[in-house]
């Protein structure tokens, strides 16, 4: 009988359904978040300095994620008791409330499904970020090593860019909306045929394959 290997999911694949214990009770993901975007992020372990700085940054931007119809969910291979105590420590010592749930993946089932465990790092999860759309499809993945903390504003920017791209059928330049060349303008996707070349002549840009416009 062939063994099914766990692997990193592909962009565009559906997030596998999971029912898991969190600091906010039992959750079904993505089922409990139907109609919302999900930002699921893993950290190597509770009570670690880099992870603590990341959780504070995510917590401080929680309302900005909610404004984009997105919910934050943390994860590590720790028991829920450890998560709760860590959340309390952050509240007591750093005066920051962690408003989002943290998955207690103490058996590693979720981390293995999503390719979050590095074979050279024991049972610790890597610093992964998964952004899922309201249909439960994985739209973006970012992986960091344990030694480097994430830039949470980049996660927020990427989420906003994905939503604008979907809504307007456009592509987003580097560091949108603060691109060095285009500023906050967006890119018209390349044409698929000659008729598309003619259609793109109405937009500004140096050539037919490089056209852009303002969303305002």
Regarding whether 109 and 194 lie in a shared domain, the answer is: no
**Domain presence at residue 4:** no
DSSP state of 156: H
Regarding whether 92 and 48 lie in a shared domain, the answer is: yes
Regarding whether 104 and 195 lie in a shared domain, the answer is: no
**Domain presence at residue 72:** yes
Regarding whether 138 and 94 lie in a shared domain, the answer is: yes
Residue ranges making up the domain that contains 214: 169-216
C-alpha dihedral sign at 181, 186, 189, 194: negative
**Domain presence at residue 1:** no
Q: Among candidates 125, 129, 159, 154, which has minimal Cα distance to 36?
A: 159
Q: Among candidates 161, 122, 119, which has minimal Cα distance to 140?
A: 161
How many CB atoms sit inside 10 A of residue 4's CB? 6
Rg of the chain taking only CA atoms, in angstroms: 20
Q: Which residues are part of the catalytic machinery? A: 51
Q: 21's torsion region: left (phi>0), alpha (psi -120 to 50) or beta? A: beta
User: Following CA atoms 50, 56, 58, 63 in sequence, which dihedral angle do they give, to the nearest 10 degrees?
Assistant: 180
Regarding whether 140 and 98 lie in a shared domain, the answer is: yes
Report the CATH number that the domain containing residue 118 is assigned in CATH: 3.40.30.10
Max CA distance (Å), the chain: 63
Q: What are phi and psi of 20, to 5 degrees?
A: -145, 150
Kindly report the pTM of this predicted structure. 0.91
* Residue-by-residue pLDDT tens, the chain, 216 positions: 333 445 678 899 998 888 999 999 999 999 999 999 999 999 888 999 999 999 999 999 999 999 999 999 999 889 999 999 999 999 999 999 999 999 998 777 788 778 777 666 556 677 899 999 999 999 999 998 888 999 999 999 999 999 999 999 999 999 999 999 999 999 999 888 998 898 888 999 999 999 999 987
Regarding whether 133 and 30 lie in a shared domain, the answer is: yes
């Amino acid at each position: 009988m062939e063994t099914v290997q766990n692997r990193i999911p592909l962009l565009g694949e559906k997030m596998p359904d999971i029912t898991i214990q969190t600091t906010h009770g039992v959750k079904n993901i993505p089922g409990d978040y139907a109609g919302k975007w999900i930002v699921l992020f893993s950290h190597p372990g509770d009570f670690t300095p880099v992870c603590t700085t990341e959780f504070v940054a995510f917590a401080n931007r929680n309302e900005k994620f909610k404004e984009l119809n997105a919910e934050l969910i943390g994860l590590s291979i720790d028991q829920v008791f450890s998560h709760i105590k860590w959340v309390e420590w952050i509240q007591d010592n750093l005066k920051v409330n962690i408003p989002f749930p943290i998955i207690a993946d103490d058996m590693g089932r979720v981390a293995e499904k999503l390719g979050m465990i590095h074979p050279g790092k024991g049972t610790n999860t890597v610093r992964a970020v998964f952004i899922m759309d309201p249909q439960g499809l994985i739209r973006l993945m970012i992986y960091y090593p344990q030694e480097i903390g994430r830039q949470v504003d980049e996660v927020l920017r990427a989420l906003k860019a994905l939503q604008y791209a979907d809504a307007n059928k456009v592509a987003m330049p580097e560091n949108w909306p603060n691109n060095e060349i285009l500023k906050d303008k967006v890119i018209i996707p390349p044409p698929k045929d000659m008729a598309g070349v003619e259609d793109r002549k109405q937009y500004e840009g140096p050539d037919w394959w490089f056209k852009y416009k303002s969303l305002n």
